[in-house]
Chain A
C-alpha cells in the first residue's frame, strides 16, 4: 500500500506560469512533510518542508499548502523557470525521521 500518493506524473508549464503538484496521505501519524527536487543524475535535494501545525509555508517562489483535514498537501512553484525542470517528490515521516515515505514523483518541464 502506497503511503503517499502523488499527482500528476508529469507536468508541462510555460515559463512564468504556476506549477502545482499534489500529494495525499493516509497515516495521520505523519508530522513532517518535505518536498525534494531531483535533477537527472543527481540525488534528491530538500526544497521546502512543512509540519501539520501550519497551513502554508513559503520560501521564495516555492509554497507548500497543507490541508490536515483532507490529508493533502501541495507544492506551488510561482513564476516557473526552465531551471525548475526536474522531478519533484513529496514525502512524509513520523517524528523520529528514521523513515521517509516518498511519492512516485512528478516530472516537471518548464517551456521557455
Chain B
C-alpha cells in the first residue's frame, strides 16, 4: 500500500511568485485535504477535495487554489506569494466519511 507522497519536499520562492505543490493520495482514498503548518503551530485547514470537487474551505484567500485529478492526486497553487506563506504544507488523504487523515511528509515553502 503506497502512502501519501508530496513534492517537492523543499522550495524557496520570492514574494510575488507563484508555486504549485503536488500530492499523491494513499491507494484507495478519494479525498484529499491540504493544511498549512506554520513553524511551532498546529496545521490549519486550507481546503478539501472529494471526487475532483472542492468540499470545504478554510479561512484562506482566493490566491490559494487547488485541483484534484481523476486518479485522486491533487495540486495546491498559491499565487502572489507573501512572506507569511512560508510554512510546511501538508497533504492528507482519507476515505470519504472516515475520520483518519493520512498525512504526507509535507512541502516546506520558504518565501524570501
Chain A interface residues toward B at CB < 8 A:
4, 6, 32, 34, 41-46, 49, 89, 91, 93, 96-105
Contact = CB atoms under 8 A, between A and B. Distances in A.
A45 B103 contact: yes
Interface string B99-112: 11111111000000
Contacts of B56: 98-99
A100 B90 CA distance: 13
B33 A98 contact: yes
Interface of B: 4, 31, 33, 35, 40-45, 48, 50, 55-56, 58, 90, 92, 94, 97-106
Most buried by A among B42, B55, B94, B102: B42
A97 B98 contact: yes
Contacts of B43: 44, 89, 100, 102
Nearest to A97: B99
B46 to A, nearest CB: 10
Nearest to A91: B42
Given A43-B4, A43-B104, A97-B97, A103 B45 contact: no
B105 A89 contact: no
Contacts of A43: 4, 90, 92, 103-106
Contacts of A101: 45
B100 A34 contact: yes
